Structure 1
Amino acid sequence: MTDTGVKRAAPNLRSLTAARVSLPMSGHSIATSEVLEFQLAHAQARDAVHAALDTEAFARRLRDELPMLAEQGVEVLTLRSCAVDRARYLRHPQRGRSLDAASAAVLKSMPCDLAITIADGLSALAVERNAVPLLAVLLPRMAKDGWTMGPVTVVQQGRVGVCDAIGERLGARCSLILIGERPGLSAADSMGAYLTWQPRVGRTDADRNCLSNIRSGGLNVEEAAERLMGLMKTARTMKLTGVALKEGAGASLLEG
């Protein structure tokens, strides 16, 4: 408290976080500019949740912007979950964790080290902005480390668990899903990356490792790719992911 009884926040607090702290005031109310910015952020979050991912256009973009896929003979496939539309996807999360019959029939056994899935999740915007830049950094590192890949699958109305069904049908040793995270009021374009060893239907989040907040202004793609490769190498050595695999814990094991 000051002598006048007015509480003042630390003047440099806003430089440390994107959260709404140390807001300017007008009398006893928040300044109009801040109220309007909050309403804009709320609208952007709602738009991100309801926006649809054009999977065919995104698949073409992957082929065009990541020529390394074609060079390695990696297909890009578009799939759908059992959620037939966005409303059912949001109301019935379980439907987003499994593939519809037509999509499941497309996948054939193709044993590989890693199956990469890209899904809209709760923010198609996050995937559109961040998935390709991340893969542009990650794929060359994977090739250098000798990882074999199954087809890259792009899933409409997908939840994290859909990578289990995909990885199991392909016979992949490990799965990686890049998915739009639930938007917040500081960012509507945050992407998550989930790594699962021996994916199969019935896996839970306790069986996965996650990197969150991949975006400009959050975890940049270079750092995300480096951390993902560290997790992938350790997972391959220890043959596990999830709560038993702590990030960085395998460094001494890999060096040995």
Structure 2
Amino acid sequence: MKTPARSFRSLTDLRDLTPARVGLGRTGSGMPTKALLEFTLDHARARDAVHAAFDVPALISGLNDLALQSFQVSSRAQSRKDYLRRPDLGRKLDQASQQLLLSDKGDSCQLAVVVGDGLSPAAVNAHAIQVLRSLIPRLAIDGIEITYAVVATGARVALGDEIGAVLRARMIVMLIGERPGLSASDSLGAYLTFAPRPGITDAERNCVSNIHGSGLDSDEASFRIAWLVREGLARETTGVALKDESGERTPQHIAASAIGPHKSET
């Protein structure tokens, strides 16, 4: 009986499918100079992304161009050093920011957006406004409006819980810079929380992550975020109780782009 022919793929083929460091080769007992230099460069980019300046004026201007009422707030982390060493400070508003939001809040709102620097301000500077520009018309189809947009400095994800509670928002979408990796230093994440309030856990959130040039583009990300917002508001829940089934209705152009090599980092 003839043995069926087996197909083998080379390491070169595998490298084309992922930005992960595979098949780097070696020189003696170490890695080749080219691979070492590329690793060093990506590590430097990741460090730079963490310490990049948060471009608040540009973000405020971008939000105004989208006709969103915006506020600028800060967490209790007074410096980048405090932010990195004391994550708890990044989860609470400072007193001035609390007063600002309390003085300008109106009746309860359906949806608020928080744009926070997180661990990669570079990611927020690069992608946040583009995602919102694509998201707003998708939400409008279902009659959902963003009532408030808040730009938060020194922000951790949980800062959105306090902001949402103060603004009496039914749901919060927080766009925040994700921890830089060696294959993506400018990755943006979107965290969605129904009935935000201080003290809730991550099990009560949904996350759309890996939004960057080699991951999810703004169009696909906004499609998933809009689906979660709509379903979360309708079902009055987010987190483990809300499974992301947006892929079952993924537009044809998105579905087609997902076929073949995909260089996102999971």
Which residue of the partner structure matches residue 150 of structure 2?
Answer: 153
Are residues 1:32 and 2:29 paired?
Answer: no
CA contact (8 A) 1:89 1:96 kept: yes
Change (3 A) 1:251 1:184: closer
What is the CA distance between 1:234 and its match in structure 2? 1.2
Are residues 1:211 and 2:216 paired?
Answer: no
CA contact (8 A) 2:224 2:246 kept: no
CA distance in 2, matches of 1:127, 1:19: 23
What is the CA distance between 1:220 and its match in structure 2? 1.0
Provide Cα deviations, 1:178-232, integer angstroms capped at 9, x if missing partner. Answer: 0000000111000100000000111111110001100110011111111111111
Which of 190, 193, 196 does residue 190 from structure 2 map onto? 193
What is the CA distance between 1:250 and its match in structure 2? 11
Which of 86, 97, 109 does residue 103 from structure 1 map onto? 97
The letter for the 1-side match of 2:189 is G
Which of 70, 78, 88 does residue 84 from structure 1 map onto? 78
TM-score by length of 2: 0.85
Change (3 A) 1:38 1:92: same
Which 5+ residue runs of structure 1 have no aligned equivalent? 1-7
The letter for the 1-side match of 2:91 is R
Which of 128, 131, 144 does residue 128 from structure 2 map onto? 131
CA distance in 2, matches of 1:114, 1:177: 11
What is the CA distance between 1:22 and its match in structure 2? 1.1
CA distance in 1, matches of 2:246, 2:222: 17
The letter for the 2-side match of 1:177 is M
CA distance in 1, matches of 2:30, 2:168: 58
CA contact (8 A) 2:157 2:174 kept: yes
SS in 2 for 1:165: helix
Which residue of the partner structure matches residue 21 of structure 1?
Answer: 22
CA contact (8 A) 1:52 1:86 kept: no
Change (3 A) 1:249 1:18: closer
Provide Cα deviations, 1:42-91, integer angstroms capped at 9, x if missing partner. Answer: 11111111223132332123324x3xx2xxxx311111100000000000
CA contact (8 A) 2:136 2:145 kept: no
Which residue of the partner structure matches residue 120 of structure 1?
Answer: 117
Are residues 1:53 and 2:54 paired?
Answer: yes
What is the CA distance between 1:27 and its match in structure 2? 4.2
Dislocated runs of 4+, deviation >4 Å: 249-252
More displaced stretch, 140-149 vs 96-105: 140-149
CA distance in 2, matches of 1:177, 1:23: 37
Are residues 1:225 and 2:222 paired?
Answer: yes
Query: Alpha carbon RMSD of aligned pairs, Å?
Result: 1.9
Are residues 1:172 and 2:166 paired?
Answer: no
SS in 1 for 2:82: helix
CA distance in 2, matches of 1:132, 1:202: 28
CA contact (8 A) 2:46 2:180 kept: yes
Which residue of the partner structure matches residue 4 of structure 1?
Answer: none
